[in-house]
Amino acid sequence: MINLELPKALRNIQAMTHQLAEQGFRPISRKYDRIEHGDTPAELKPLAQMIAAARPRGRKAGEGADGADPDAVKNGANLIGIVSVEEMCWGDVGLMLSLPAAGLGNAAIQAVGSAEQKQQYGKLYCAMAITEPGAGSDSAAITTTARRDGDEWVLNGEKIYCTGGQRCDAVVVWATLDKALGKAAIKSFIVPRDNPGMSLVRVEDKMGLRISDTAALAFNECRIPADHVLGSAEIADTEAARKKAFGGVMQTFDNTRPQVAAMALGVARAALEITREILEKEGVKADFSKSPYNSTATELELYRLEADLEAARLMTYKAAWMADNGQANSKEASMCKAKAGRMGNEVTLKCVALCGEAGYSERHLLEKLARDSKIIDIFEGTQQIQQLIVARHLLGLSSRELK
How large a percentage of the chain has pLDDT more than 90?
A: 60
pLDDT tens for each residue of 298-312: 999 999 999 999 999
* Residue 69 CA: distances (Å) to CA of 6, 22, 77, 371: 20, 38, 18, 46
Other C-beta atoms closer than 10 Å to the C-beta of 263 total 29
DSSP-based helix, strand, coil % in the chain, nearest 5: 55, 15, 35
Task: Quickly state the pLDDT bin for 64 (edges 50, 70, 90).
Answer: very low
Residue 55 pLDDT > 60, yes or no? no
CATH code, domain carrying 140: 2.40.110.10
Residue 208: inside a domain: yes
Q: What is the CATH number of the domain that holds 386?
A: 1.20.140.10
Rounded Cα distance, 210 and 97, in Å? 11
Supply the DSSP symbol for 135.
B
**Domain containing 18: what range?**
8-117
Per-residue pLDDT, 243: 58
Give the residue numbers marked as catalytic: 380
Mean of pLDDT values over 340-369:
96
Residue 400 lies in a domain: no
Strand partners, 127: 171
Contacts of 247 (CB under 8 A, 6+ apart): none
Shared domain check, 323 and 262 = yes
Q: Quick one: 201 and 248 in the same domain?
A: no
pLDDT band at 107 (very low <50, low <70, confident <90, very high): confident
Whether residue 388 is predicted with pLDDT greater than 80 in this model: the reply is: yes
pLDDT at position 351 over 60: yes
Q: What is the pLDDT of residue 72?
A: 62
Cβ atoms of 171 and 188 within 8 Å: the answer is: no
Q: How confident is the model at residue 316 (pLDDT cuts 50, 70, 90)?
A: very high
20 with 54, same domain: the answer is: yes
Lowest mean pLDDT of 36-50, 125-139, 197-211, 373-387, name the range: 36-50
User: Could you tell me the pTM of the whole model?
Assistant: 0.88
Q: Say whether both 29 and 94 belong to one domain.
A: yes
- Does 158 map to a domain? yes
Within a domain: 3: no
With b for 16 or more beta-carbon neighbours within 10 A and e for fewer, the 320-355 pattern comes to bbbbbbeeebbbbbbbbbbbbbbbbbbbbbbbbebb
* 61 pLDDT tier (thresholds 50, 70, 90): very low
Angle at 97 between CA 94 and CA 99, to 5 degrees: 115
Mean pLDDT of the region 391-403: 86
Distances (CA, A) of 42 to 169, 217, 282, 294: 17, 25, 38, 50
Q: Do 133 and 276 belong together in one domain? A: no
Query: Tell me, what's the pLDDT at 73?
Result: 62
Q: Which amino acid is at 310?
A: E
Last residue of a domain, one of 216, 236, 256: 236
Among residues 182, 169, 171, 151, the alpha carbon closest in space to that of 218 is found at 171
Place 190 in a pLDDT band, splitting at 50, 70 and 90.
very high
Distances (CA, A) of 14 to 18, 55, 304: 6, 11, 25
- What is the reported pLDDT for 240? 57
Per DSSP (E only), the strands in 226-356 are: 229-230
Residues 175-202 have a mean pLDDT of 91
Over residues 222-229, mean pLDDT: 96
First to last CA, the chain: 38
Whether residue 293 is found in the same domain as residue 389: yes
Q: Are both 72 and 213 inside the same structural domain?
A: no
**Distance (Å, rounded) from C-alpha 164 to C-alpha 99?**
10
Question: Is residue 206 one of the residues assigned to a domain?
Answer: yes
Examine residue 402 and state whether it is found in any structural domain, yes or no. Answer: no
Task: Mark whether 311 and 385 lie in a shared domain.
Answer: yes
Looking at residue 71, its pLDDT comes to 59
Do 176 and 144 touch, CB atoms closer than 8 A? Answer: yes
Question: 98 and 112 share a domain?
Answer: yes
* The pLDDT of residue 365 is above 90: yes
Name residue 224's beta-bridge partners.
Answer: 153
> CATH number for the domain including 76?
1.10.540.10
Q: What is the pLDDT of residue 40?
A: 78
Q: What is the four-CA torsion angle of 324, 327, 330, 334, rounded to 10 degrees?
A: -60
The reported pLDDT for the residue numbered 57 is 53
Q: Does the pLDDT at position 127 exceed 50?
A: yes
Question: Same domain, yes or no, for 247 and 160?
Answer: no
Q: How crowded is the C-beta side of 88, counted as CA atoms within 13 Å?
A: 25
Same-domain status, 251 and 390: yes
Distance CA 251, CA 246 (A): 8
Q: Based on the domain organization, do 85 and 169 belong to the same domain?
A: no
Mean pLDDT comparison of 179-188, 234-243, 321-330, highest-scoring range: 321-330
Query: For the chain, how many structural domains are there in total?
Result: 3
Chain-wide mean pLDDT for the chain? 87
Torsion of CA 95, 100, 102, 104, to 10 degrees: 100
Q: Is 277 a member of any domain?
A: yes
Dist CA 69 CA 386 (whole Å): 35
pLDDT band for 237, please (50, 70, 90 cuts): low
Last residue of a domain, one of 212, 236, 260: 236
333 within some domain: yes
Q: Which of 382, 68, 88, 380 is nearest to 255 (CA)?
A: 380
pLDDT grade for 58, boundaries at 50, 70 and 90: very low
What's the pLDDT tens digit per position in 133-163? 987 777 778 899 999 999 999 999 999 999 9
pLDDT at residue 289 tops 90: no
Is it the case that residue 42 has pLDDT exceeding 70? yes
Mean pLDDT, residues 5-20 taken together: 91
Residue 63: pLDDT band with limits 50, 70, 90: very low
Instruction: Give dist(CA 79, CA 234) in Å, integer.
Output: 33
H or E, element range at 189: strand 186-192
pLDDT for 84 beyond 80? yes
- pLDDT band, residue 44 (cuts 50/70/90): confident
Last residue of a domain, one of 67, 97, 117: 117
